[in-house]
Amino acid sequence: MLYLLIDLDRTLWDFDGNADRTYKAMFEQFGLEQLCHVDFNTFHERYRQINDVLWEAYRNGTVTKEQLSLRRFSYTLAAFGCDSNSPDIIRLSLRMADYYVIEGTKQTGLMPGTRDLLEWLSKQKDRFSLSVITNGFSEAQIPKMRTSGIDRYFSHFFLSEDLGFMKPDRRFFEAVIHQLNVPASQCLVIGDDYRVDIAGAQSVGIPQVWYNPKSVALPAGMPRPTFEISHLSQLKALL
């Protein structure tokens, strides 16, 4: 039995496409063009930069989930002239945070080949056990999988908020192996983020498949993943 440990966002669930749609609806819903005097693309690009920095800080434990949830919106509003300390802007940021998570989980876009791969794997239950490994917010990840109809393929859901550690922390992967009660060599991590998924798996000796659809360069000085693919359909040949 091979234990497949599969990342969710940007590996199975089309995070970027789904987030774009949600964000665009939010931008209109909250009248942000009028409030910030900025077009959607400029606002969204700035949000992405701010969100990436805050997520890194969240992974490192220097900001809390609540701070991340609020600040990614309040800091973006501040970047376009709003006072991020004013009660009105804090209230607006909180409403945006709720909207973004709730509406985001209603999106169903998947990465190319996701459903086909999961169907193929699920027909071989004696060969493969499927688990999700994700750092995303618990209240978003399970509903997302349910809405897009992929939750039923998985026997285990390993969420960082439940485990108390986030990828790439080796303790996240150790907790997964421990709960599955299998050796690292019997697992295979599949993920799109080299530093989060692949480096994390390497640190505990789990073989890895780097799903790299945009052909990002291997980070300098880092070891090659066990396998690299650019489309999920290529996974079948490896297994």
Question: How big is the chain by its Cα radius of gyration, in Å?
Answer: 19
Closer to Mg ion by Cβ: residue 8 or 26: 8
Closer to Mg ion by Cβ: residue 73 or 194: 194
How far is residue 55's CA from residue 67's CA, in Å, rounded to a whole number?
10
Smallest separation, CB 211 to Mg ion (Å): 9
How far is residue 141's CA from residue 105's CA, in Å, rounded to a whole number?
8
CB proximity list for 204: less than 8 A, separation 6 or greater: 170, 173, 174, 177, 184
How far is residue 234's CA from residue 228's CA, in Å, rounded to a whole number?
9
Q: Is the dihedral of CA 51, 20, 159, 99 positive or negative?
A: positive
Examine residue 10 and tell whether it contacts Mg ion (CB under 5 A): yes
**How many Å from the N-terminal Cα to the C-terminal Cα in the chain?**
11
Examine residue 9 and tell whether it contacts Mg ion (CB under 5 A): yes
The piece of 5-13, 27-35, 174-182, 213-221 that touches Mg ion (CB under 5 A) is 5-13
Examine residue 169 and tell whether it contacts Mg ion (CB under 5 A): no
Smallest separation, CB 194 to Mg ion (Å): 10
Judged by CB under 5 A, the number of residues near Mg ion is 5
Closer to Mg ion by Cβ: residue 72 or 92: 72
Q: Is the dihedral of CA 158, 98, 144, 38 positive or negative?
A: negative
Instruction: Tell me which residue of 36, 168, 14, 178 sits closest to 104, measured CA to CA.
Output: 14
Q: Which residue is nearest to Mg ion (CB)?
A: 10
Smallest separation, CB 3 to Mg ion (Å): 18
E strand map for 50-164: 128-134, 156-159
Closer to Mg ion by Cβ: residue 7 or 14: 7
Examine residue 7 and tell whether it contacts Mg ion (CB under 5 A): yes
Site string for Mg ion, 188-207 (x = CB under 5 A): ----xx--------------
The piece of 8-16, 55-63, 107-115, 154-162 that touches Mg ion (CB under 5 A) is 8-16
Closer to Mg ion by Cβ: residue 14 or 192: 192
Smallest separation, CB 61 to Mg ion (Å): 19
Closer to Mg ion by Cβ: residue 18 or 93: 18
DSSP state at residue 215? -
Instruction: Give the footprint of Mg ion on this chain (CB under 5 A).
Output: 7, 9-10, 192-193
